[in-house]
């Protein structure tokens, strides 16, 4: 490595956010390019830098089920200084020359986000970006990244056939006051596999002959029909530590329940433990006054559970067009989990980032459509059943 490169790297530490520095490869950007298979690269000059990252195939909006192998890879360029509106062009290497793929503008957070093919004729692709000259800044071309790292997922379920694979089991099959589900419980009747997807439902519990007394914030809120929830997880059969997990989902319509893709720690969450509940995505129904999409983690700090995360704002910016919707089409919801950071995305676009105090134990995936006590009064029983669909789920474990 040249002395100039070392000096640039030292100076860069003064301006790069710690979360980004921690996520970069330990080798230099030059070595990444020479290796030809790095999924992240860093190019620096005296006045600007470009961090480029190739992510797995986590972009696939659409109305119908589709193969995860047909999804597009997410390519993200983070550029400093931030110059919102600066044009950034994605290029792909073909036959030793570079072809333009797409051009977008840098957003207010300094990112340029692309969706691009992961392969050509079954082979990985190499990408770079070029940021145009802009208001006194010279044009800059990134070092390259490759999609090769992500072409062999650790685990996939495409929900083919007519039954769940043995990896899944049904969860929460008893009424549980502590979990705020005194009036609902998980049941295999609320889970159905067919037409290339798993359907998770909330439906009336016909085994109950009386109506449930719903309490919200310790106050009586009315009597409602008991409900069955679709609630499945891979505890004891599949878990992973660090990497990227993604699920392609189409949510329910009506408020009164929430659909989720989440993870829990192997061995549970307890005081002194480092495992979390990681809510990759939760959706609370169409026409929610605050948008209805949230991302949170729950973890112990000392003897108490703390909640970190956010309600996703400007949710329409993650939809393809005005006709798109969370209950109308499938979208891919994912989390990138490293020892330092959790990064949440919708179709490859970042929504939320949480750093520090991150889970360091294996976690297992969960899919659910749950009607918690506080939600039940928001929907009449005649509006049941409600359905959520999951086309596929994938995990790319990195181990670090």
Query: Which has the higher per-residue pLDDT, 58 or 10?
Result: 58
In angstroms, what CA-CA distances link 306 with 269, 282, 310?
Answer: 12, 18, 13
Which residues make Cβ contacts (< 8 Å) with residue 91, sequence separation at least 6? 98, 99, 100, 101, 127, 128, 129, 130
Q: Give me Rg for the CA atoms of the chain.
A: 23
Distance CA 69, CA 55 (A): 14
Q: Do residue 142 and residue 172 come from a single domain?
A: no
Domain boundary among 103, 123, 150: 150
Distance CA 35, CA 23 (A): 18
Q: Do residue 137 and residue 210 come from a single domain?
A: no
Predicted pLDDT of residue 219: 80
Predicted pLDDT of residue 253: 95
Query: Which has the higher per-residue pLDDT, 218 or 188?
Result: 188
- Furthest-apart CA pair in the chain: how many Å? 78
What is the separation of C-alpha 221 from the centre of its chain, rounded to a whole number of angstroms? Answer: 34
Q: Do residue 8 and residue 89 come from a single domain?
A: yes
Predicted pLDDT of residue 16: 53
State the average pLDDT over residues 204-217.
91
What pLDDT digit, counting tens, does each position of 130-150 carry? 999 999 999 999 999 999 999
Q: What percent of the chain has pLDDT over 70?
A: 91
State the average pLDDT over residues 36-48.
91
Q: Do residue 267 and residue 212 come from a single domain?
A: yes
Q: Do residue 128 and residue 165 come from a single domain?
A: no
Predicted pLDDT of residue 280: 99
Q: Do residue 105 and residue 176 come from a single domain?
A: no
- Please state the pTM of the whole predicted model: 0.91
Q: Do residue 139 and residue 180 come from a single domain?
A: no
State the average pLDDT over residues 300-313.
93
Domain boundary among 129, 150, 171: 150
Q: Do residue 213 and residue 317 come from a single domain?
A: yes
Predicted pLDDT of residue 150: 98
What pLDDT digit, counting tens, does each position of 161-209 carry? 999 999 999 999 999 888 888 999 999 999 999 999 999 999 999 999 9
Q: Do residue 292 and residue 185 come from a single domain?
A: yes
Q: What percent of the chain has pLDDT over 90?
A: 82
pLDDT value at 12 more than 80: no
pLDDT value at 398 more than 90: yes
Q: Do residue 137 and residue 165 come from a single domain?
A: no
Predicted pLDDT of residue 380: 82
Segments forming the whole domain that contains residue 167:
155-397
Neighbours of 385 (CB within 10 A): 15
CATH number of the domain that residue 370 is part of: 2.60.120.200
CATH number of the domain that residue 100 is part of: 2.60.40
pLDDT value at 9 more than 70: no
Q: Quick one: DSSP state of residue 313?
A: P
Predicted pLDDT of residue 220: 86
Q: Do residue 226 and residue 288 come from a single domain?
A: yes
Q: Do residue 128 and residue 179 come from a single domain?
A: no
Distance CA 148, CA 124 (A): 5
Distance CA 365, CA 232 (A): 9
Task: Count Cβ neighbours within 10 Å for each residue of 83-102 and write b for 16 or more, e otherwise.
Answer: beebbbbbbbeeeeebeebe
| Count of domains observed in the chain | 2
pLDDT value at 305 more than 80: yes
Distance CA 74, CA 269 (A): 32
Q: Quick one: DSSP state of residue 139?
A: P
Bridge partner list, 197: 194
What pLDDT digit, counting tens, does each position of 336-383 carry? 999 999 999 999 999 999 999 999 999 999 999 999 999 999 988 889
Which residues make Cβ contacts (< 8 Å) with residue 2, sequence separation at least 6? none
What pLDDT digit, counting tens, does each position of 219-255 carry? 888 999 999 999 999 999 999 999 999 999 999 999 9
Query: Which has the higher per-residue pLDDT, 34 or 133?
Result: 133
Which residues make Cβ contacts (< 8 Å) with residue 97, sequence separation at least 6? none
Bridge partner list, 292: none
pLDDT value at 30 more than 60: no
Domain boundary among 150, 183, 210: 150
What pLDDT digit, counting tens, does each position of 88-131 carry? 999 999 999 999 999 999 999 999 999 999 999 999 999 999 99
**Tokens in use for 269?**
């969450």
């Amino acid at each position: 490595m040249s002395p100039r490169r070392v000096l640039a790297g030292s100076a860069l530490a003064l301006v790069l956010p710690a979360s980004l520095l921690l996520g970069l490869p330990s080798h230099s950007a030059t070595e990444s390019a020479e290796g030809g298979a790095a999924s992240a690269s860093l190019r620096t000059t005296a006045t600007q830098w470009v961090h480029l990252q190739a992510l797995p195939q986590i972009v696939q909006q659409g109305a119908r089920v589709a193969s995860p192998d047909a999804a597009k890879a997410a390519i993200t360029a983070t550029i400093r200084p931030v110059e919102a509106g600066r044009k950034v062009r994605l290029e792909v290497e073909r036959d030793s020359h570079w072809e333009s793929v797409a051009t977008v503008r840098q957003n207010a957070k300094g990112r340029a986000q692309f969706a691009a093919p992961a392969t050509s004729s079954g082979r990985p692709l190499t990408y770079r970006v070029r940021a145009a000259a802009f208001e006194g800044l010279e044009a800059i071309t990134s070092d390259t990244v490759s999609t090769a790292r992500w072409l062999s997922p650790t685990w996939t379920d495409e929900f083919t056939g007519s039954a769940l694979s043995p990896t899944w089991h049904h969860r929460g099959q008893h009424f549980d006051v502590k979990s705020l589900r005194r009036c609902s419980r998980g049941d295999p009747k609320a889970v159905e596999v067919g037409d290339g997807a798993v359907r998770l439902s909330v439906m009336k519990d016909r085994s109950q002959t009386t109506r449930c007394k719903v309490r919200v914030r310790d106050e009586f809120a009315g009597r409602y029909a008991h409900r069955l929830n679709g609630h499945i997880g891979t505890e004891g059969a599949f878990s992973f530590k660090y990497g990227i997990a993604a699920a392609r989902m189409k949510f329910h319509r009506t408020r009164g329940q929430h659909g989720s893709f989440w993870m829990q720690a192997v061995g549970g969450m307890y005081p002194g433990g480092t495992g979390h509940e990681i809510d990759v995505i939760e959706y609370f129904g169409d026409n929610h006054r605050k948008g209805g999409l949230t991302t949170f983690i729950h973890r112990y700090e000392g003897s108490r559970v703390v909640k970190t995360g956010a309600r996703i704002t400007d949710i329409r910016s993650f939809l393809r067009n005005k006709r798109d919707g969370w209950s109308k089409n499938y979208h891919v919801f994912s989390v990138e989990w490293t020892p330092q950071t959790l990064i949440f995305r919708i179709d490859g676009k970042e929504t939320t980032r949480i750093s520090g105090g991150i889970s360091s134990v294996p976690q297992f995936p969960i899919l659910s459509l749950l009607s918690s006590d506080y939600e039940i009064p928001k929907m009449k029983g005649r509006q049941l059943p409600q359905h959520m669909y999951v086309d596929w789920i994938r995990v790319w474990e990195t181990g670090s």
